[in-house]
């Protein structure tokens, strides 16, 4: 995956807040602390084009439009069984774990 410029070209820190995302049969908590990790996640789920989406073109834009980005990611993960999702995320070196509490 090649990136031209903008926040996606570096290793800018994003923070470490976990997003609890739905899968086909449960939830996973996904933590992506740097932009290169987020780019790997988007590539993994087949949504690499989001790295070129104007809504996410700068670090500020990523913060402002975080909910939209999370919704795009969740839309892809909801069709994947949780254990398969965890295996794929962990193989791509994306921190993820199962969320056991039903209301989490």
pLDDT tens digit string along 47-61? Answer: 999 999 999 888 888
pLDDT for 45 equals 95
| CB of 82 closer than 8 Å to CB of 24 | yes
CATH of the domain at 38: 3.30.1540.10
The pLDDT value given to residue 1:
37
Name the residue range of residue 65's domain.
20-99
Residue 9 placed within a domain: no
Tell me which residue of 71, 79, 100, 43 sits closest to 8, measured CA to CA: 43
b/e code 66-95 from CB counts within 10 Å (16+ = b): eeebeebbbebbeebebeebbebbeeeebe
Number of domains making up the chain? 1
Tens of pLDDT, residues 26-38 = 999 999 878 888 8
What's the pTM value of the predicted model, to 2 decimals?
A: 0.81
Is 10 within a domain? no
26 in any annotated domain: yes
% of the chain exceeding 70 in pLDDT = 81
């Amino acid at each position: 995956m090649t990136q031209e410029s903008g926040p996606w070209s570096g290793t800018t820190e994003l923070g470490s807040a976990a997003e609890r995302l739905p899968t086909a049969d449960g939830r996973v908590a996904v933590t992506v602390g740097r932009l290169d990790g987020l780019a790997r996640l988007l590539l993994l789920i087949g949504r690499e084009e989001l790295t070129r989406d104007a809504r996410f073109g700068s670090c500020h834009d990523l913060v402002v439009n975080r909910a939209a980005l999370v919704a795009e990611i969740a839309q892809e993960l909801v069709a994947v069984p949780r254990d398969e999702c965890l295996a794929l995320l962990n193989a791509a070196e994306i921190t993820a774990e199962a969320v056991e509490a039903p209301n989490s």
